[in-house]
Chain A
Amino acid sequence: MAPGEPNRKVAGSTGPRPGVLRRVLYRLAASNDDLVDDELRQESVDAGASTIATAQMRTRVHIQGRIEVLTLNPTGTNRWLEAELNDGTGSVHLIWMGRRRIPGLRAGRRLAVDGLIAANDGQRIMYNPRYQLLSD
């Protein structure tokens, strides 16, 4: 089961909010990962960003989430900085061409980005997004 799935069903942004009892039961039964995803998703919804899972391909979107994996590429090959952003509903690969490091950008950092989201080889990808480092 993909980590994003159950919370969309229970506390998704579409449809009415489920009852208190169901929410309590869900919080007790859900795994820690699901709860973390929930929080991430809720934060980005609160900030008015779109969620990655529902984002339309080839459109400009504003999303917010946390860096799960940050890749430092060697100098020889692709000269870009790569990061994987997760907002609790899914993840998107961010690529900054021509850069090796961005100061302050590290794994676990929360980040808001604007850019064109596209699909590439089954993955969502966003080239050279505008970014804003959020406080932890």
Chain B
Amino acid sequence: MNITQGLKRLLIGRKLESSKLGETLLPKRIALPVFASDALSSVAYAPDEILITLSLAGAAGYAFSWKIGIAVACVMLVVVMSYRQTVHAYPSGGGDYEVATANLGPDAGLVVASALLVDYLLTVAVSVSSGVQNAEAMIPAIHGHEGLAAAGVIVVLTGLNLRGTRESGTFFAVPVYAFMMSVAAMVIWGLVRVFVLGDPLRAATAGLRVEGEPKYSSLVGLAMVALLARTFSSGCAALTGVEAISNGVPSFREPKSRNAAATLALLGGIAVSMLMGIIVLSRVIGVQMFDETGGGSRILDASGRPLASQTTVVGQLARAVFFDTFRPGFYIMIICTMVILFLAANTAFNGFPVLGSILAKDGFLPRQLHTRGDRLAYSNGIITLAVGAAVLVLVFNASVTALIQLYVVGVFISFTVSQTGMLRHWTRLLRSDLRAPKEQRRVWMRSRLINGVGLVMTGIVLIIILISKFTRGAYLALLAMVGLFALMKSIHRHYDKVHDELELSDSSDRALPSRVHAVVMVADLNKPTMRALQFAKATVPTFLEAVTVDVDPDATEKVLSAWQKEDVDVPLKVIASPYREITNPFIEHIRRIRSENPRDMVEVFIPEYVVGHWWERLLHNQTGVMIRARLHFMPGVLISTVPYQLSSSRYAERRWRREEPRSWREAGRPVGRSRD
């Protein structure tokens, strides 16, 4: 084992057999943190974004925070209810994509798929960026290098996910539960201190003067509506990740649908209470935020100078609630927030490759994305996601406020399309199965009603988001989606074209070659050539000939006399080569055999030296490689390589036996087909 392999073993772990696949299924208590960390973690930045947007209206704007929070919570509950119907109806993990494809056609499915793929990418980018921002509060050295730090975190997450779902699941459960508990503890303890114990808790920014943009400060008219719409759109970031569960149903233990639905309900309840808890508490103790990215608002400190940087809402709350009474609580809260944000990115690492693999299976993405790697994870999908997200955080320098403008659009596009699909699904069931028992029909009616409400709700939210965010960056996300859509369409078209071309049609596709011309390529009469000759003879062809190209008359003479002396019982043809080249005269000779007997099969035997080192490969077989490549383009020609193992080849064989390099990249197939 060399250093790279050792490193890979250390980071990724041993290969897993295909039969171990069942063991990567998740029980509910692990599935919740794995799939829900995205939706839960957004309570770490959704309130921030709500307050930041409201700050444009000055200090009075914050009064709207809890109303926005309630609106977001309502949407959240409706969406969760709708998705509970989806996981029951479509348990195979296709999620929105499958729903849309089955009910609205493949184009709708592709719209959903491209929207979701883009949003997964943004989930990773936004969550990791937000996590890095939180970390900055504890490690100031990161300031100025957020992009690089975020990219580093993405690399670590990629490694964890290449190890496989289950281990990452168990590993992630602890911090997610810790986060839930600490948020609960913080909110409850904070409210108890204020209302029961009567402590006058105040956030660090409470009472400071906030300057908004003048056009919003009147709190009336169209400007205010637009501002509230923007706030609401940013707050809707809390909803991302709900669909992750519907895409991840196959990862649940049996009964998959029931467990997934229960986890969804749990997730909805927890996320809504955490979001409302944080918003209410921040309102009670007067947390204020401003737009750091050079937006219209700023906060003036006591001496009248604007603040240069700010702490996140969770950071301010934790400081106010815990710092004086229970200091470890403050640190636990911050660390948990940071970690859960990184884990949220992990949700995308679970969802993206599964979706990618489904798309690949349907021929919309390269087939390699469908296969599982050494560790039974969809390695190629994971790496694709990691690269995409790393590019995003580097380009936007990990700024949450900038990234969040691109975010959420995709999720709501897929929500809306899939709700439409579900509506159709139930309607079709109700129409087609008129004799179903009454209770069954009532369940379907109820499901249809839920999905109908979901459709209206998500549709309205989508319109609000599109209007309020389009010029602020959402157009970039939309462009990416359109690009992805076109790309997947053309990949599909290509696969279709190839499929049509390869389909058996008329009888000529089934014709048996009438005769076999075997041609053995000879450069010299030695062991490899003799082996090729004997192998060719063993295939009992109709005609057998050896062919050598007369590049050098002396060498040809040597071959001829050796041939005579050895008394080989195969005719040897010497082909003239007026231009001292081997490939063309040889190819020309094969072509002539072909055109004289078009229904015959020509089998070309090429002796090849198998060597152990890459530099030896440069010294041998070059002509054979060239001829093989050319012959591939000739129909009716079969190319047989007759390997002859030189003694140095055992080094290579040993190396391959230790580790087949392609098995990791090409995934799936080589798993379980061990070479030793």
Residues of A within 8 A of B (CB): 36, 66-77, 82, 100-101, 106-109, 122
Contacts and interface: CB of A to CB of B under 8 A. Distances in A.
Nearest to A68: B576
A75 B566 CA distance: 11
A74 B574 contact: no
A66 B574 CA distance: 13
Given A69-B574, A72-B560, A106 B569 contact: no
Contact of A74 (B550, B571, B578): B571
B14 interface: no
Interface string B546-574: 00001001001100100110011111111
A107 B567 contact: no
Contacts of A74: 567-571
Interface size class of B (residues with CB under 8 A): 20 to 34
B577 interface: yes
Interface of B: 545, 550, 553, 556-557, 560, 563-564, 567-578, 589, 596
A73 B576 contact: no
A69 B563 contact: no
B571 A69 contact: no
Contacts of B564: 72, 100-101
A69 B576 contact: yes
A123 B578 CA distance: 24
A71 B576 contact: no
A73 B564 CA distance: 9
Contacts of A75: 567, 569
A120 to B, nearest CB: 13
A40 to B, nearest CB: 10
A72 B574 contact: yes
B563 A108 contact: no
A69 B574 CA distance: 5
A108 B568 contact: no
Contact of B576 (A66, A77, A101): A66
Given A72-B560, A72-B564, A100-B564, A107 B576 contact: yes
A108 B567 contact: no
A15 B625 CA distance: 47
A71 B577 contact: no
A132 B573 CA distance: 21
A66 B585 CA distance: 14
Interface centre among A107, A108, A122 (most CB of B within 10 A): A107
Contacts of A36: 578
Contacts of B567: 74-75
A122 B506 CA distance: 29
A77 B572 CA distance: 13
A73 B578 contact: no
A94 B79 CA distance: 86
A97 B553 CA distance: 24
A106 B574 contact: yes
Contact of B575 (A68, A72, A82, A101): A68
A63 to B, nearest CB: 17
Contacts, number: 57
Contact of A107 (B545, B550, B569, B570): B550
B569 A76 contact: yes
A76 B589 CA distance: 25
Nearest to B575: A69
A100 B565 CA distance: 13
B571 A70 contact: no
Contacts of A122: 596
Given A74-B567, A74-B570, 19 more contacts: A36-B578, A69-B573, A69-B575, A69-B589, A70-B573, A71-B571, A71-B573, A71-B574, A72-B560, A72-B564, A76-B569, A77-B569, A101-B564, A106-B550, A106-B556, A106-B574, A107-B576, A108-B553, A108-B578
A100 B550 CA distance: 18
Contact of B574 (A77, A100, A107): A107
Contacts of B574: 69-72, 106-107
10 contacts: A69-B573, A69-B589, A70-B574, A71-B573, A72-B563, A72-B573, A82-B571, A106-B550, A106-B556, A108-B577
A74 B564 CA distance: 8
Nearest to A83: B574
B563 A106 contact: no
A100 B563 CA distance: 12
A101 B563 CA distance: 12
A125 B569 CA distance: 24
A119 B571 CA distance: 22
B578 to A, nearest CB: 6
B564 to A, nearest CB: 7
Given A74-B569, A74-B570, A75-B567, A107 B560 contact: no
A72 to B, nearest CB: 4
Please indicate which of the listed interface residues A36, A82, A106 has the most CB atoms of chain B within 10 Å of its own CB. Answer: A106
A72 B569 contact: no
A101 to B, nearest CB: 8
Contact of B553 (A67, A82, A106): A106
B572 A107 contact: no
Contact of A108 (B560, B572, B576): B576
A95 to B, nearest CB: 13
Contacts of B575: 68-69, 107
Contacts of B570: 74
B447 to A, nearest CB: 69
Shortest Cβ-Cβ A-B pairs, 3 listed: A108-B576, A107-B576, A107-B574
Contacts of A72: 560, 563-564, 571-574
A39 B563 CA distance: 34
Q: Which of the listed residues B557, B570, B575 has the most CB atoms from chain A within 10 Å of its own CB?
A: B575
Contact of B556 (A67, A69, A76, A107): A107
Nearest to A106: B553
A73 B577 contact: no
Nearest to B572: A72
B568 to A, nearest CB: 6
B390 to A, nearest CB: 52
A89 B125 CA distance: 71
A100 B561 CA distance: 11
Contacts of B578: 36, 108
A76 B567 CA distance: 9
